[in-house]
């Protein structure tokens, strides 16, 4: 999937973003600060990106003709989520509009089975796993890998959706009934051996059209109910562990020939192993703290990378922590924004979503401090203050 060398795309050009969510909104903000115009493709008109884009095109992501026709005036197109059909993205690229990262990257990373096969083929360490396409194959895979284990849908899973932990024999059929059968028939699943990990981290990195890379410091990620809750950096791990995670991320982006930004999530085992969990071929929730904490944010880096400009410095200027704001923060009415913003070093980012629902990411808080422990304390304290009463 080699990228064709081309002159840089300079400010004033129109950039396209597939997806209208908060990642697209923050990309648009960064691009417009740099003098670009931004047009988003969304399946709904009322989306977070609409507030910051010059134009929003509403249609069906699977409609390759619509995408190709609408994107004719754009200099380059990128994406902010993985649920764009790879075939449609390929049709877009075939219409002479550069798509970065290349649709082949999307094809690999939007399916867990293909992603695991890529990691195994290139020798990247990950959890023992098996792809299964039938109830019988799931039973055989469990017999091979043992219990406990985790079974996941190969496609369309995020924030804990589409996965189940298996702890006993009775869980196997229940998991297949819940995940393995869909309206169109059997669905491919991936069974992963259970990893008794010490923590989870992620590395967001950019790769330019010339193959240069720039990685942000790894973030330590804490989850609640399978949704990212707090990210913080420095991650507080041995230097050799962090260095391995950064090096692995660079090598993964190179093997995929990514042009743009991608995030690699890792399990760190109690013995210090660094195992790849997932690859996101876009900016990432755990990288939101780079807006305040780094010389170049992940979104400004995305603009630079896809436009063929020199990558910015990923140097972190202060310890930082980010806390997600889910719909639950609105359960007692409008959150007390003034109270949260009264905490030193705290910044607020709201995504402009019209309806607050449990588990829905509505925004985030970021805090900077002299130590990462203080940054975590500030951002979590600020979030607690949002709840009135």
pLDDT 10s digits, 218-263: 999 999 999 999 999 999 999 999 999 999 999 999 999 999 999 9
Instruction: Report the percentage of the chain scoring pLDDT > 90.
Output: 88
Contact between 282 and 23 under an 8 Å Cβ cutoff? The reply is yes
CATH class of 14-99: alpha beta
Residue-wise pLDDT for 73-114, tens only, equals 999 999 998 888 898 899 889 888 999 999 999 999 999 999
Express each pLDDT in 201-210 by its tens digit: 999 999 999 9
For the chain, give every residue range classified as CATH 3.30.1490.20.
128-193
Mean pLDDT value across residues 56-68: 93
CB–CB of 231/250 below 8 Å?
A: no
Q: Helices 112-121 and 239-256 sit at what angle, rounded to 10 degrees?
A: 110
| Statement: 197-385 belongs to CATH 3.40.50.2300 | no
Exposure of 291 in the CB half-sphere (CA atoms within 13 A): 22
- pLDDT score of 375 more than 70: yes
CATH fold group of domain 128-193: Dna Ligase; domain 1 (3.30.1490)
Nearest by Cα to 314 from 233, 228, 216, 178: 216
For residues 39-68, average pLDDT: 95
Element (H, E) at 113: helix 112-121
pTM tops 0.75, yes or no: yes
Residue 90 sits at φ, ψ, to 5 deg, of -65, -40
Choose the most confident range, by mean pLDDT, from 80-89, 110-119, 155-164: 110-119
**How many angstroms separate the CA atoms of 248 and 256, rounded?**
12
Q: Does position 275 have pLDDT exceeding 90, yes or no?
A: yes
**3-to-87, 252, 298 alpha-carbon distances in Å:** 18, 16, 21
pLDDT value at residue 157 = 64
Q: Residue 291 to residues 26, 39, 309: CA-CA distances in angstroms?
A: 9, 22, 19
- Cα–Cα distance for residue pair 201/268, rounded to 1 Å: 7
Q: Where in the chain is the domain with CATH 3.30.470.20?
A: 197-385
- CA dist., res. 58 & res. 46, Å (int): 10
Mean pLDDT calculated for residue range 268-294: 97
- Contact assessment for residue 130 and residue 145, using Cβ atoms and an 8 Å cutoff: yes
Q: Provide CATH 3.40.50.20 ranges for the chain.
A: 14-99
Name the residue with higher pLDDT: 6 or 89.
Answer: 89
């Amino acid at each position: 999937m080699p990228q064709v060398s081309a002159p840089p795309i300079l400010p004033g050009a129109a950039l396209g973003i597939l997806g209208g969510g908060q990642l697209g909104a923050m990309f648009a903000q960064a691009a417009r600060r740099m003098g670009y115009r931004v047009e988003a493709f969304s399946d709904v008109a009322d989306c977070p990106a609409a507030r910051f884009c010059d134009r929003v095109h509403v249609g069906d992501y699977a409609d390759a003709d619509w995408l190709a026709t609408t994107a004719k005036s754009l200099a380059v197109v990128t994406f902010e989520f993985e649920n764009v059909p790879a075939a449609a993205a390929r049709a877009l690229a075939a219409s002479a509009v550069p798509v970065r990262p290349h649709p082949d990257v999307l094809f690999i990373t939007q399916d867990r089975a293909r992603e695991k096969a890529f990691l195994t083929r290139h020798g990247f360490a990950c959890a023992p796993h098996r792809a299964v396409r039938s109830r019988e194959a799931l039973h055989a895979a469990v017999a091979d890998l043992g219990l406990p284990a985790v079974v996941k849908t190969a496609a369309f899973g995020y924030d804990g959706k589409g996965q189940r932990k298996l702890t006993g024999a009775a869980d196997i059929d229940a998991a297949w009934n819940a995940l393995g059968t869909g309206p169109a028939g059997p669905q491919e699943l991936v069974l992963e051996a259970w990893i008794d990990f010490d923590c989870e981290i992620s590395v967001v990195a950019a790769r330019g059209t010339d193959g240069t890379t720039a990685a942000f410091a790894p973030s330590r990620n804490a989850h609640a109910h399978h949704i990212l809750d707090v990210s913080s950096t420095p991650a507080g791990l041995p230097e050799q562990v962090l260095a391995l995670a950064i090096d692995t991320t660079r090598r993964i982006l190179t093997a995929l020939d990514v042009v743009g930004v991608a995030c690699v999530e890792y399990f760190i085992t109690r013995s210090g192993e660094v195992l790849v969990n997932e690859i996101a071929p876009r900016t990432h929730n755990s990288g939101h703290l780079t807006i305040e904490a780094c010389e170049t944010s992940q979104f400004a880096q995305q603009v630079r990378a896809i436009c063929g400009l020199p990558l910015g410095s990923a140097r972190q200027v202060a310890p930082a922590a980010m806390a997600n704001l889910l719909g639950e923060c609105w359960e007692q009415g409008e959150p007390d924004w003034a109270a949260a913003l009264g905490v030193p070093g705290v910044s607020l980012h709201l995504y402009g979503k019209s309806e607050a629902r449990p588990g829905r990411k509505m925004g985030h808080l970021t805090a900077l401090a002299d130590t990462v422990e203080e940054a975590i304390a500030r951002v979590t304290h600020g979030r607690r203050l949002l709840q009135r009463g």
